[in-house]
């Protein structure tokens, strides 16, 4: 599609109206010449036949193992994401693009749902439409053993965005020494659309468990770095090794991507594990460099330059927190080489731009960040859920049966619900202590209200998580011992996953949902709860530190994670229904934004469309740039 066509005019008008002033729109409307030398672009509705999307993630969405006969087998993984039923979307405790990560909400509680991560449950790579974020699992074929496909999750949404062919690049979950065995596994993976990045165990440990989880994850969730550790020689040396491993791992990913890159490919880099990759890709391939600075005249029918996008599935901290990172400038400058940078909320995008302004001295604009005439677009792309899946499930016979049992069991009492992965950032101890305080201060509510807390185990081999689990059990036992009776138990605590239908039923009968994360990238459990509350119109108590608070704040009770229960329990039915109406309207309309597709598809399609448009906008800006001064004259 040539930009001089009506579709090109439509695309530019749409983008300018969304992000530019009326004056700039008028400037565009006045143009009637100069289109012939712009680089042709592929429309969001009609991509080139050979258009390809390379998704680069820390972890491939497959598990590699051998059957008893010694043949390799691939099983598509369920990674955990934003919503406990939805799987990772958002996006990912493997919720996001890591494995065993301490990030985000999801633990894949729903047995049938892909598990944002916030990783994700995925479908096979290929050229096809986006799949529902939490679609039911299905089996699809056999290769070297059984290959079970779970067609849900954000990763499914990335398979075939806008009819692009999708190629996945990431660590395969194991290390195989060079030789025939590795070659056989690599060939099998590539046949399915997956390209492995091989990382030695020591490098992997320093890179992932070291810099990714011990430094970046903590910092991005507002856990300050221990600066004393950087001063002590031994720990300083360890952190230097972690940073070097992080750089080396990003180099490995870059080499693999560049080896498979073809002119016109779009590259979408995922999460904080690969923040150096945009710069490495732009340095390694000349066709990726055109990004909005001064340019040479492009051939009329040349392919559009390669575009690189980067999306963060966690919060991005304020500049005052981020600046404590010793390698803060190196990381920011590397990320800024991307054409489009995405976050879940506007606050995270604003924090990123503020960091670039205060730390690098660059100019922040409504578009993003400008550096010597080159602009990196920064925008928010909030993820949603598929509410129809939940409303349909409520009509299922199994769910109706579970609802009847729960209503009978909890008859005469108000039910509060917490659904979380057992993680430090989820605020489970704070929630329990708040409930204890409520029972102490309001004895009239004893025997009239109970809390059902689902705490899905995460990283059970890590000492910090073992201590957290023991702490939660101790608090639960103390509260039940102090306020319980022979016929009343204040807290019903479960250390396990629930099936999709069980959790839908629990959502439906709950009067109050307590989501009090200390810090959360998005948290789609709140969306899931709203989707299941059409009859009951329960109250959503939502932490102001969760990304979802920006979307559902109008209908939820926004709280500091340490307080607020009484208002939710005593709220009038009229107010409850009005708050639920506002929340449900957002959940439903947010999902429907991409031509009737699921929320994950809408999210992915929107990001790729924006990324696809970046070079058009760059060329548009360059037409206002004065020509270079000829110094020879």
Residues 19-28: tens digit of each pLDDT: 433 333 333 3
Q: Does 135 have pLDDT greater than 80?
A: no
Express as a percent the part of the chain with pLDDT over 90. 48
Nearest C-alpha neighbor of 370 from the set 125, 83, 618: 618
By CB atoms closer than 10 A (0-12, 13-18, 19+), residue 360 is middle
The Cα 228–Cα 609 span in angstroms is 45
Mind listing the domains of the chain with CATH numbers? 6-47+605-622 (no CATH), 52-290+303-380 (3.40.50.2000), 387-590 (3.40.50.2000)
Looking at residue 234, its pLDDT comes to 57
Looking at residue 162, its pLDDT comes to 62
Looking at residue 241, its pLDDT comes to 93
Q: Does 193 have pLDDT greater than 60?
A: yes
106-120, 218-232, 450-464 — which is least confidently predicted?
Answer: 106-120
247-256, 426-435, 550-559 — which is least confidently predicted?
Answer: 550-559
- Encoded tokens for 73: 């087998």
75-89, 509-523, 550-564 — which is least confidently predicted?
Answer: 75-89
CA atoms within 13 A on the CB side of 218: 13
Q: Which residues pair with 451 in a beta bridge?
A: 416, 491
Q: Does 107 have pLDDT greater than 50?
A: no
Residue with tokens 């592929």: 42
pTM, rounded to two decimals: 0.75
Tell me which of 466 and 374 has the higher pLDDT: 466
Q: Does 328 have pLDDT greater than 90?
A: yes
**Residues sharing a CB contact under 8 Å with residue 69, sequence separation 6 or more, in sequence order:** none
3-state secondary structure labels for all residues of 59-124: ECCEEEEECCCCCEEEEECECECCECCCECCCCCCCECCCCCCCCCCCCCCCCCCCCCCCCCECCC
The Cα 383–Cα 476 span in angstroms is 33
What is the SS3 assignment for 480?
helix
The Cα 122–Cα 133 span in angstroms is 9
- Encoded tokens for 11: 């695309």
Are residues 509 and 415 in contact, defined by beta-carbon separation less than 8 angstroms? yes
Are residues 85 and 105 in contact, defined by beta-carbon separation less than 8 angstroms? no
- Encoded tokens for 431: 């929630």
**Is the CA virtual torsion 327, 330, 336, 338 positive or negative?**
negative
Mean pLDDT, residues 266-272 taken together? 95
């Amino acid at each position: 599609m040539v930009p001089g066509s009506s579709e090109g005019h439509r695309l530019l008008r749409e983008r300018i109206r969304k992000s530019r002033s009326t004056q700039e729109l008028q400037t565009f409307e006045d143009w009637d010449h100069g289109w012939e030398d712009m680089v042709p672009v592929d429309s969001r509705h009609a991509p080139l036949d050979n258009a390809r999307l390379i998704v680069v993630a820390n972890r491939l969405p497959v598990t590699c193992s051998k059957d008893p006969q010694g043949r390799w087998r691939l099983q598509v993984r369920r990674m955990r994401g934003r919503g406990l039923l939805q799987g990772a979307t958002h996006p990912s405790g493997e919720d996001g693009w890591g494995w065993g990560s301490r990030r985000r909400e999801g633990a894949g509680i729903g047995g049938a749902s892909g598990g944002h991560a916030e990783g994700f449950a995925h479908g096979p790579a290929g050229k096809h439409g986006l799949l529902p974020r939490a679609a039911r699992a299905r089996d699809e074929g056999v290769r070297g053993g059984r290959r079970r496909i779970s067609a849900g999750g954000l990763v499914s949404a990335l398979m075939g965005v806008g009819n692009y062919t999708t190629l996945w690049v990431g660590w395969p979950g194991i290390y195989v020494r060079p030789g025939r065995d590795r070659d056989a596994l690599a060939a099998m993976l590539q046949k399915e659309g997956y390209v492995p990045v091989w990382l030695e165990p020591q490098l992997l440990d320093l890179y992932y468990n070291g810099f990714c989880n011990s430094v970046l994850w903590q910092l991005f969730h507002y856990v300050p770095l221990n600066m004393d550790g950087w001063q002590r020689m031994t720990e300083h040396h360890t952190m230097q090794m972690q940073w070097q491993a992080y750089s080396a791992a990003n180099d490995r990913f870059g080499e693999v991507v560049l080896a498979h890159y073809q002119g016109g490919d779009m590259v979408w880099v995922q999460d904080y594990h690969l923040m150096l990759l945009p710069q490495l890709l732009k340095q390694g391939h000349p066709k990726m460099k055109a990004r909005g600075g001064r340019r040479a005249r492009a051939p009329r029918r040349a392919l559009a330059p390669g575009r690189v996008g980067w999306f963060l599935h966690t919060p991005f901290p304020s500049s005052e927190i981020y600046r404590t990172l010793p390698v803060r400038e190196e990381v920011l400058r590397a990320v800024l080489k991307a054409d489009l940078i995405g976050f879940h909320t506007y606050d995270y995008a604003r924090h990123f731009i503020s960091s670039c302004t205060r730390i690098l001295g660059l100019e922040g604009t409504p578009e993003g960040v400008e550096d010597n005439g080159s602009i990196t677009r920064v925008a928010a792309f909030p993820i949603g859920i598929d509410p129809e899946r939940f409303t349909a499930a409520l009509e299922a016979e199994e769910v109706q049966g579970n609802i009847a049992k729960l209503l009978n069991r909890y008859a005469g009492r108000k039910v509060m619900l917490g659904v979380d992965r057992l993680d430090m950032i989820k605020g489970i101890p704070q929630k329990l202590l708040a409930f204890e305080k409520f029972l102490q201060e309001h004895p009239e509510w004893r025997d009239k209200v109970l809390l059902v807390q689902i705490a899905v185990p995460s990283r059970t081999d890590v000492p910090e998580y073992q201590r957290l689990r023991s702490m939660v059990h101790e608090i639960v036992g103390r509260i039940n011992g102090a306020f319980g009776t022979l016929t009343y138990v204040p807290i019903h605590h479960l250390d396990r996953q629930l099936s999709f239908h069980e959790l839908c039923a629990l959502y439906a009968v709950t009067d109050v949902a307590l989501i009090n994360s200390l810090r959360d990238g998005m948290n789609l459990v709140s969306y899931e709860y709203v989707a299941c509350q059409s009859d009951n119109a329960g109250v959503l108590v939502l932490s102001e530190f969760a990304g979802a608070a920006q979307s559902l704040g109008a209908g939820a009770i926004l709280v500091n994670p340490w307080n607020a229960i009484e208002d939710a329990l005593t709220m009038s039915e009229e107010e409850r229904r009005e708050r639920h109406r506002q929340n449900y309207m957002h959940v439903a309309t947010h999902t429907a934004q991409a031509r009737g597709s699921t929320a994950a598809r809408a999210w992915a399609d929107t990001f790729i469309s924006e990324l696809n448009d970046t070079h058009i906008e760059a060329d548009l800006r360059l037409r206002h740039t004065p020509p270079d001064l000829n110094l020879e004259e």
